[in-house]
């Protein structure tokens, strides 16, 4: 089984709420393109040839604030308020049980000042990619939760220029390999912030022995990230 994802100019804000509705906003200002050729005549080899380019600024924000959940006297656990904001120039994710043969390029930067569309997407590809004319772009992610009552909170913000996650696992008793040529160019400032405040539970809920409200806020900012995992086959699995 093979799962492959190629995303460019990724700005996502998501909320998973127990019993309420919050606000989530994602926006990007720029231009992007990508092309991929993941087909191969060899059924045992997954061949990927991809190029991704994101030009501009990315912003993702999620705000899960001012939630109050009523306790009905029968609950044995607190509900949870979750929110995630992700801003990334390019994302490549591949998970397969075949041998991997990957040649990929990821480029993330700001616009080219003074050009009509800011990109100059001409031959050679993207005007040479690293020719110095591109301004510094931004990838900003922010997650917030405030004034949440009778619920736990788990929020996260992640920002990156380029992400590549490749994984191959051999079929039972077999072997596998990964041949990877990856170029990542990031001319982008990444920033992430996560803040959880004011999480509490009413005294009557605490007196009933319900779990204490927990808050977790995680912020991660990266330039270029590359992860390659090769797993051997396990007989019987």
Domain parsing of the chain, residue ranges: 3-231
- Predicted confidence at residue 28, as pLDDT, reads 41
- Which has the higher per-residue pLDDT, 139 or 1? 139
Mean pLDDT of the chain: 74
Rounded to the nearest 5 degrees, what angle is found at the Cα of 62, between the Cα atoms of 58 and 63? 145
Arithmetic mean of pLDDT, 4-25: 49
pLDDT digits (tens, 9 = 90+) for 83-142: 888 888 888 888 888 888 888 888 888 877 766 554 444 434 555 555 567 788 888 999
Percent of the residues in the chain that have a pLDDT greater than 90, as a whole number:
13
- Predicted confidence at residue 68, as pLDDT, reads 80
CA pair distance 208, 210, nearest whole angstrom: 6
Residue 195, pLDDT > 90, answer yes
Q: Residue 82 in contact with residue 16, Cβ under 8 Å? A: yes
pTM recorded for the entire structure: 0.76
pLDDT digits (tens, 9 = 90+) for 35-57: 444 455 567 888 888 877 777 78
pLDDT band at 73 (very low <50, low <70, confident <90, very high): low
């Amino acid at each position: 089984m093979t799962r492959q994802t190629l995303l460019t100019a990724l700005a996502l804000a998501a909320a998973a709420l127990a019993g309420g509705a919050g606000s989530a906003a994602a926006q990007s200002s720029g231009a992007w393109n990508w092309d991929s050729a993941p087909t191969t005549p060899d059924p045992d080899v997954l061949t990927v040839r991809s190029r991704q380019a994101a030009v501009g600024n990315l912003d993702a924000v999620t705000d899960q604030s001012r939630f109050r959940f009523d306790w009905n006297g029968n609950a044995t656990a607190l509900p949870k308020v979750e929110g995630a904001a992700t801003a990334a120039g390019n994302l490549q994710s591949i998970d397969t049980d075949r041998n991997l043969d990957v040649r990929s390029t990821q480029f993330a930067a700001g616009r080219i000042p003074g050009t009509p569309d800011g990109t100059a997407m001409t031959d050679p590809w993207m005007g040479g990619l690293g020719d110095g004319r591109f301004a510094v772009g931004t990838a900003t992610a922010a997650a917030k939760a405030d004034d949440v009552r009778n619920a736990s909170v788990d929020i996260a913000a992640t920002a990156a220029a380029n992400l590549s996650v490749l994984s191959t696992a051999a079929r039972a008793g077999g072997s596998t390999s990964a041949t990877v040529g990856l170029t990542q160019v990031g001319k982008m400032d990444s920033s992430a912030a996560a803040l959880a405040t004011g999480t509490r539970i009413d005294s009557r809920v605490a007196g009933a022995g319900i779990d204490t409200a927990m808050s977790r806020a995680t912020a991660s900012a990266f330039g270029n990230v590359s992860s390659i995992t090769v797993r051997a086959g396990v007989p019987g699995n």
